Structure 1
Amino acid sequence: MTAVFQVGDARITHIPELHWDNADPRRLYPDIDAEALATFGPSLTPGSFDNATGRLAQGTHAWLVQLPGINLLIDTATGNDKSLPDAPALDHLHTPFLDRLAAAGVRPEQIDAVLHTHIHADHVGWNTRLYDGKWVPTFPKARHIYSAIEARYGAANDGIDPAPDLPPDVLGSPDHRPLPRVYTDSMLPVIEAGLGQAIRIDGREVLAGFSFHPTPGHSIDHASIRLRSQGAEAWFTGDVMHHPLQVYRPDLRSVYCEFIQPAERSRRWFLEKAAESGNLCFTSHFAETGAGYVRRRGKEFSWEFAQPTEGEIR
């Protein structure tokens, strides 16, 4: 059984796709220095940082949220068979992700909604699956909710529909471009099937209990999603941070961030918000339980992994 958490009436289950424990911190964070690991390495748990090898543990996963009468997924990881030659670790995967979803008690046709923090390869991949040589929706009854700006930017990136007004001036020029064909293979088939709902990311409630809050930078219109249920609250962070190390060092830029300075501003905003509220945070790439709390430590922050209500991380 995989890890399960409870937030109000919401039962939240970790659905794993990939796990690795050999990530080179210098490749993920180009500006990192030896002092950062020497200073903050001892604060990281063994399941996230190997002090002997200096390597980081991470993963890809989705979160299944079950509320009375509705099943949702927050992001959909990478998917199988996706051509991602520029990301070899994600290229043409064959994982039992859907079997793991079924083990949590839910079949693809029982998913009612898919909420996307952003449109990157490792967050929208299972939106579609390969069938008779074509990409078809994996969750045929689900409403897929995503940023309208992210979708337009993705379409432009794939050469489908130019968007000369993007990125907006407030973000500046991009430091990194998203991978090609992500929109074409993982978003367009869903939209053409009438299952897409493009929204404005402005903090308003989009679905009962769920609101999308702007945290741009990692991607052009990245959102962190807040869940409210029976007086309890939680956050789905998306890629505001990729590893607990960034909680301790929010200035560290990820090599995957499209707009470096806005990404850092969003990360600092989110850390302040999470520490002040004490809300449980469900991350997208942290190893171990994948969920935890941002704690204030003087003028800095620290990370505390949450233990599941039931089950365990596998």
Structure 2
Amino acid sequence: MAEDNVQSFLIGDVEVLRVVEWQGAFAPASDLVPGVRPESWKQYEEQLAPDHVEPGSGLAVAAMQTWVLRSGGRTVLVDTGIGRGRERPGNPLFHQREGDLPGRLARAGVNTDDVDVVVSTHIHADHVGWNTHDAGGEWVPTFPNAQYLLPAADDFHFGPDGGYGGGVRLDDRLVYEDSIAPVHRAGLAVRWAGEHRVDEHLTLEAAPGHTPGSSVLRVASRGERAVFVGDLLHNPVQILRPECSSCFCLDPGQAARSRRRVLERAADEKELVVPAHFGGRGAVEVRREDGGFRLHRWAA
């Protein structure tokens, strides 16, 4: 899938657009999901290559993307990617990147002024980067008419009251200061906890572990269902091995419990699973198998 292509599909009456900011080989697969042994990656290669693992190199393939939902006459963004001109010394892929998500959105028919809601599944650099943009040396909201929905637990943990993530990573302070604090100053931030109803079709639910406030967005319309899971899954291998969390999870055990719970419901209710970073078709149906799960069918 070329970076500037837009994938679209319907979930009942909800239109979904996938807008990719970047896609390619990301990191050694065994580093990304360290609980999966190299021989297991080899075992699953037929199911994962080339869209999710690069053949021969052992590198995991990932996408940085934003999902656009048109629901009930409103435009909702799920995560806003990396951003432009950010100081991210802890991650060379994100550091001072010169992307153009607003341009990609415009080519997909989505103007920044027309966005009504911005959902951050969690507060990490590659999920909130386009929350704001640089306007003459000041970070201001990119979507000035939107309500920004922030998980309260993440807003506390990564904000000043939580010591900017406890000072574990320099980038956490930078992310909060350039991508979250300006939204608060503009009066556009809404903090939520537990469960939050966005509209008649969309509901946010807590799914902690990757971060304290990690969440999923459930979509239900005319008998069709999907669940946007953020970083609960980084690679499809975690559907096959749900006990294995990514190297980025702050609480791997809790993340694994959240992942299994969400996958169980997705399998039972036939929800389309839509992670933040899957390459290829980007979304997949799952089914139960032998006490675990299997990849059933990729999105059209």
TM-superposed CA distance for 1:20, in Å, is: 1.3
Residues in 2 aligned to 1:297 and 1:45: alpha-carbon distance in whole angstroms: 21
Q: Number of aligned residue pairs: give it.
A: 296
Residues in 2 aligned to 1:304 and 1:287: alpha-carbon distance in whole angstroms: 16
TM-superposed CA distance for 1:303, in Å, is: 2.2
Name the residue aligned to 2:109: 105
User: Do the aligned residues in 2 keep the contact of 1:236 with 1:282 (CA within 8 Å)?
Assistant: yes
Name the residue aligned to 1:27: 31
TM-superposed CA distance for 1:163, in Å, is: 6.9
Question: Which amino acid letter does the alignment assign opposite residue 139 of structure 1?
Answer: F
- Provide TM-score, normalisation by structure 2: 0.92
User: Do the aligned residues in 2 keep the contact of 1:280 with 1:293 (CA within 8 Å)?
Assistant: yes
The correspondence of residues 150-299 of structure 1 with structure 2, limited to 5 A, is 150-155=154-159, 160-162=160-162, 179-202=172-195, 204-299=196-291
TM-superposed CA distance for 1:175, in Å, is: 9.5
Counting aligned pairs with the same residue, the percent is 32
Structure 2: 5+ residue stretches without partners = none
Q: Does the C-alpha gap of structure 1 residues 206 and 299 become closer, same or farther in structure 2, counting only changes over 3 Å?
A: same
What SS does the aligned partner of 2:172 have? coil
User: Do the aligned residues in 2 keep the contact of 1:78 with 1:122 (CA within 8 Å)?
Assistant: yes
User: Do the aligned residues in 2 keep the contact of 1:201 with 1:221 (CA within 8 Å)?
Assistant: no
Residues in 1 aligned to 2:156 and 2:197: alpha-carbon distance in whole angstroms: 22
What SS does the aligned partner of 1:73 have? strand
TM-superposed CA distance for 1:282, in Å, is: 1.5
Question: Which amino acid letter does the alignment assign opposite residue 189 of structure 1?
Answer: P
Q: What RMSD, in angstroms, separates the aligned Cα atoms of the two structures? A: 2.2
- Provide TM-score, normalisation by structure 1: 0.88
Q: Deviations over 1:45-66 (max 9, x none)?
A: 4222233222221111010111
The higher relative CO (CA closer than 8 Å, separation ≥ 6) is in: 1
Question: Which amino acid letter does the alignment assign opposite residue 197 of structure 2?
Answer: E
Name the residue aligned to 1:92: 96
Name the residue aligned to 1:145: 149
